[in-house]
Copies of this chain bind each other. A is one copy, B any other.
Amino acid sequence: MSLNDKEWLIEVFENRSAFALRYRTKLFDEVSQFQNVQIFQTEFMGRALILDGCYMLTERDAAIYHEMLVHPAMSALPAPSHVLVIGGGDGGAVTQIVKYPKVRSVTLCEIDRMVVDACREFLPQIAAGLDDPRVQVLFEDGAAFVKAHAGEFDLILVDSTDPVGPAKTLFETSFYQSVKAALRDGGAAVFQTESPVFMSEVFLEAVGKLAGVFGDSRVYPYFATVPCYPGGLWSFTLCSDQVDPIKGPCSELSPALEQTLEYYTEEIRRAAFAAPAFVRRALSRQ
C-alpha cells in the first residue's frame, strides 16, 4: 500500500528512508521566523512535535530521549547547581532537570519562541518543568548566549535539532569551544550527536570535533533507542575535564526520582556507554 500525507505523518530522511505514524488531527501548524512548527495527534504514540518535517518527539517515546540526555550527567556530576539547556524548546529536558532538588537554576536558551509556546499549550506534561520557579526561559541564539557566559554552568545540555537550519552553528568547533568555556570547574556538557547508524558521518564528525576541544579521553559517546528517530539508535556525547561517567563515581538515583523515570535506570546508564563494534572501530580510526 501507499501512504498519503492526509492520513500519515511522514518523515522522509534524505529521500531514502521514511518513518510514519497515522494521525487523527493536526493541532498546530505555523511557520516561525526559523522553521515550520507542527503538532499532530497520532493514533499510536500520542502527540508528535514536528520541526521542518522532522520528528522531534512523540509523547510515547519522549521520555527515552530526555531522560538519556539529562540523567547520565546528573548522576556523574557531584554538585550540579546551575544548568543551561540550549535548544530543547519542548521543555522535556528541563522537566527532567527540575526533578533534582539540588539544582538551583536552570536556563533554557531556545531560539524559537513558537516552539515553547506551542509545547506549553499542546504538550503540557512534557513542558511542565518550564513552570518551575528555578527556571528562566530565554529566546536567544544559543551560540551567542554561551559565548557571553564563560564559567557559569555546572552542566550544559545541547538539545539541538539536526545540523541544518537554525541548529547548524550548534555543530561547529567554535560553538564547542564556547560551551567548554562556559562550564564551571569540574562541569560537564552533553550534546545530542545524531544517529551513529543512519547519520554516521555527522556523528563521527561531531565526536571528532568534541575530542579536539575537550581532549580524546574526555569525550564519552553513549546510546539509546528512540523509535521515532531515523535509524532508531541515537547518540549523545558527554564531555568533561573531570567527570568520568563510566568509571564514576556516580550518585544513585533517589527512590522518588526513580519512580518518575520511564527508561533510565542505573543499569541502563552503565550499559549505554557500550558502543557497537562498527561504532567503536569508526571512532578508533579518527
Contact = CB atoms under 8 A, between A and B. Distances in A.
Contacts of A276: 64, 262-265, 268
A277 interface: yes
A274 B278 contact: no
Contacts of A280: 265
Interface string A247-286: 0000000000010011111011011111111101000000
Chain B CB within 10 Å, residue with most, of A8, A19, A271: A271
A254 to B, nearest CB: 14
24 contacts: A1-B12, A3-B3, A3-B8, A3-B10, A3-B18, A8-B18, A15-B22, A16-B43, A16-B44, A17-B20, A17-B22, A17-B45, A18-B20, A20-B20, A61-B197, A197-B227, A225-B232, A231-B232, A261-B277, A262-B277, A265-B277, A268-B274, A270-B274, A271-B273
Interface in A1-52: 1-5, 8, 10, 12, 14-22, 42-45
A198 interface: yes
A14 B232 CA distance: 19
A29 B267 CA distance: 44
Interface residues of A, number: 49
A211 interface: no
Chain B CB within 10 Å, residue with most, of A15, A198, A225, A227: A225
A138 interface: no
Contact of A17 (B12, B44, B233): B44
A278 B227 CA distance: 15
A170 B275 CA distance: 32
